[in-house]
A and B are shown apart, each in its own frame.
Chain A
Amino acid sequence: MGGAERVGPWRWAGIALALVLALFPFLVLALNSVRPAGEFLSPGAGLLPAQPTLEHYRAVLGGDGETWRFLLNSVVVTAAATALAVALGAPAAYALARWRLPFRLSLVIGLSFLVVRFYPKIAVAIPFYLLMRDWGLLDTHLAVILAHASLALPLVVWILLGFFEEIPREIELSAMLDGCGAWLRFRRVVLPLSLPALGAAAILTAILSWNEFLLASTVAAGEARTLPVRIAGFITDKGTQWGPMSAMGTVIVLPVALFALLAQRWLARGLTAGAVKG
């Protein structure tokens, strides 16, 4: 279907409108990142910078190398949080998908995973801060990693739960009779079959962690700051440094955009996998 369908003018207009809505902020961001500092406050400035400059990039990426440290923080946190969330979420989802717990506990647990997605993050920010303080983890990578993993875990469980439930039961029964206990079945049969879903869960977790600001800024406002937290630091009591802020904003968006582009096919497959028998 769709191959021969003509795209009419209204549809083009709709697509264009959606694209503008979605991409215009990025355009402004990118343009601002090459706008000379003096232009920001001049009333006559247009959308396009009159004299594009790379001075902000030089300031942000060069100099004391501070940005690279925050970038490294972000990379470490994203990688570890993703690994942790998937490593914990996959067995949890498998257990929920396959083990019949008494009193409909599977449903209760599954729903509670969903509910934690609904309440505002700010509600857990303060308790999280206190917890990390008590554990002596404030301003460490581990604190941010734990925060992001806990945010992403429900998402991971829900994506994988749906996928695991779609794996034909007989394949697992077959593995059972082949001598596999639950763990071997999970590792040798279920996980290899679930790579698309695992990939989708990992990509979404990574993007969530890479972008997350609130919890990261609550538990790690100093040395362990991630890039989004650092960006907020450009808003100072002496005014906002629009140029460097935009430059860093562009830097932070690029890897995610690239990642999403590369992973797009995989993501789509993972999110709809099992919908139709292949």
Chain B
Amino acid sequence: MASVTLEGIGKRFGAVRALEPVDLEVADGEFLALLGPSGCGKTTTLNIVAGLEAPSEGRLLIGGEDMTRVPAPARDLAMVFQSYALYPHMTVEGNLGFALEVRRLPREEIARRVRRAAEALDLVPLLGRYPKALSGGQRQRVALGRALVREPRAFLLDEPLSNLDAVLRLQMRGEIATLFRGLGATALYVTHDQAEAMTMADRIAVFRAGRLQQVGAPLAIYRAPANAFVAGFVGAPPMSFAAATLAEDAVVLEGGARLPRPSGLAVRAGARVTLGLRPEDLRLDEGGLVLPVERVEHLGGAQIAHLRAGGARLTLLAPPDAALAPGRSARVAVAARDLYLFDPETGGTLAAPGLGPLGPALRGHPCPSPTVSAS
């Protein structure tokens, strides 16, 4: 296994910037998730590391070696594609062993590695089958096995679970995480599913519109997002946002509802801010704000209630037995330290639970720094 380092790697297609220059270091043995909506640059980044696309600028190091101009077949990386991309004319065994055969490994070594991967992934009874005779989940395992037998310098995974049904996806999520942890493998894992990134990765790199937004441990991303986009993208149900104004001792929502102001916030009173509230931070409280309930979704183990607060909608994650009904109101409160506040213009974070107060001034808030560590 090896580390993977991107130094100012960027990509232009003609006049279009697909990827702003990115600095990113994936340590040896680290599982890094590249997270973002479609078209955000995460797959471009992965393809550049794989050698399937050439960067327009910057350097790529693998294990400290400059690999920027090395063609894909010589990079010794293994990739799992979203479509699995199995070889339809080869059996499972042939698929697993192909890369080793191409590398002219001794026959016994190939057999040994194929066997081991097949056992690890429950593929032994399927070794003689062709891909068309496999279910989606089985194909997914073969694609994974094909990468595992390689024992490459790093694994690249491009949305490997997105074609599976929900139950299988959840199961594979855990299995892949355990598997790669056990191997101590360096892995870059592209996904648009924040839950996958949160549960599997050592660190997450969040992309948006070709720009790296933040890199950090899952909880750091969650509790100390660099900006409103990251805060809204990570977490389910997602964070609610509301326009608000700062008072001396409160955060005032449109419509007049007042929430406690986080302490030590270096933003003058009267400034406009964007308030972010995570559904689980909002709690039912007899002394809290009275907000009308618009809609309730009962999940069995919990309820999600959509509340109205002036022009904004707030989401509340409530216990299963709470008496919530549309048309009635709920009384809710939130602790001052759980508020997220963002600059309404730049989206930059002014205050977040994990970070403590930030924000020297509202105006001219600098572009969010790409790296934010956990506090």
**When the two chains form their complex, are residues B52 and A178 in contact, meaning their CB atoms are under 8 A apart?**
no
The segment from B81-89, B161-169, B324-332, B342-350 that touches chain A is B81-89
Most chain B CB inside 10 Å of its own CB: which residue of A170, A178, A184, A193: A178
Q: Does B22 contact A (CB under 8 A)?
A: no
Distance in angstroms between the alpha carbons of A220 and B150 in the assembled complex: 56
Q: Does B15 contact A (CB under 8 A)?
A: no
**When the two chains form their complex, are residues B50 and A179 in contact, meaning their CB atoms are under 8 A apart?**
no
Q: A176-B72, A178-B98 are in contact. Are A170 and B77 (CB under 8 A)?
A: no
Across the interface, B81 reaches (CB within 8 A) one of A174, A192, A193, namely: A174
Name A137-190 residues within 8 Å CB distance of B: 168, 170-171, 173-181, 184, 188-189
Contacts of A175 in B (CB 8 A): 87, 98
Interface size on B, residues (CB 8 A): 27
Distance in angstroms between the alpha carbons of A168 and B87 in the assembled complex: 10
Q: A189-B87, A192-B89, A193-B89 are in contact. Are A179 and B99 (CB under 8 A)?
A: yes
Q: A184-B102, A192-B89, A193-B88 are in contact. Are A176 and B73 (CB under 8 A)?
A: yes
Distance in angstroms between the alpha carbons of A101 and B102 in the assembled complex: 28
Distance in angstroms between the alpha carbons of A180 and B85 in the assembled complex: 15
**When the two chains form their complex, are residues B102 and A177 in contact, meaning their CB atoms are under 8 A apart?**
no
Contacts of B156 in A (CB 8 A): 177
Contacts of A180 in B (CB 8 A): 73, 102
Distance in angstroms between the alpha carbons of A10 and B176 in the assembled complex: 63
17 contacts between A and B (CB under 8 A): A170-B81, A170-B82, A171-B87, A171-B88, A173-B50, A174-B79, A174-B81, A174-B85, A175-B87, A177-B50, A177-B51, A177-B156, A178-B78, A178-B150, A179-B73, A184-B102, A193-B88
| Nearest residue, chain B, Cβ from A167 | B88
| Nearest residue, chain A, Cβ from B73 | A179
Distance in angstroms between the alpha carbons of A171 and B102 in the assembled complex: 15
A residues neighboring B (CB under 8 Å): 168, 170-171, 173-181, 184, 188-189, 192-193
6 interchain residue pairs of minimum CB distance: A178-B99, A170-B85, A174-B85, A192-B89, A179-B102, A176-B72
Smallest CB separation, B130 vs chain A (Å): 12
Interface 0/1 of B57-90, CB less than 8 Å to A: 0000000000000011111111101110111110
Q: Does B103 contact A (CB under 8 A)?
A: yes
Contacts of B102 in A (CB 8 A): 178-180, 184, 188
Contacts of B82 in A (CB 8 A): 170
**When the two chains form their complex, are residues A177 and B77 in contact, meaning their CB atoms are under 8 A apart?**
yes
Contacts of B78 in A (CB 8 A): 177-178
Q: A178-B98, A178-B99 are in contact. Are A171 and B85 (CB under 8 A)?
A: yes
**When the two chains form their complex, are residues B73 and A181 in contact, meaning their CB atoms are under 8 A apart?**
yes
Q: With A179-B99, A180-B102, A181-B71 given, can you name 18 additional A-B contacts, CB distance below 8 Å?
A: A170-B81, A170-B83, A171-B88, A174-B86, A174-B87, A174-B146, A175-B98, A177-B51, A177-B52, A177-B75, A177-B156, A179-B73, A179-B74, A179-B102, A180-B73, A188-B102, A193-B88, A193-B89
**When the two chains form their complex, are residues B85 and A179 in contact, meaning their CB atoms are under 8 A apart?**
no
**When the two chains form their complex, are residues B72 and A177 in contact, meaning their CB atoms are under 8 A apart?**
yes
**When the two chains form their complex, are residues A177 and B79 in contact, meaning their CB atoms are under 8 A apart?**
yes
Smallest CB separation, A232 vs chain B (Å): 45
Most chain A CB inside 10 Å of its own CB: which residue of B50, B77, B88, B103: B88
Distance in angstroms between the alpha carbons of A215 and B103 in the assembled complex: 47
Contacts of B77 in A (CB 8 A): 177
Contacts of B150 in A (CB 8 A): 178
| Nearest residue, chain A, Cβ from B99 | A178
Contacts of B72 in A (CB 8 A): 173, 176-177
Contacts of B76 in A (CB 8 A): 179
Distance in angstroms between the alpha carbons of A193 and B87 in the assembled complex: 9
**When the two chains form their complex, are residues A173 and B81 in contact, meaning their CB atoms are under 8 A apart?**
yes
Smallest CB separation, B101 vs chain A (Å): 9
Smallest CB separation, A53 vs chain B (Å): 53
| Nearest residue, chain A, Cβ from B82 | A170
Contacts of B146 in A (CB 8 A): 174, 178
Distance in angstroms between the alpha carbons of A179 and B103 in the assembled complex: 7
Interface 0/1 of B37-55, CB less than 8 Å to A: 0000000000000111000
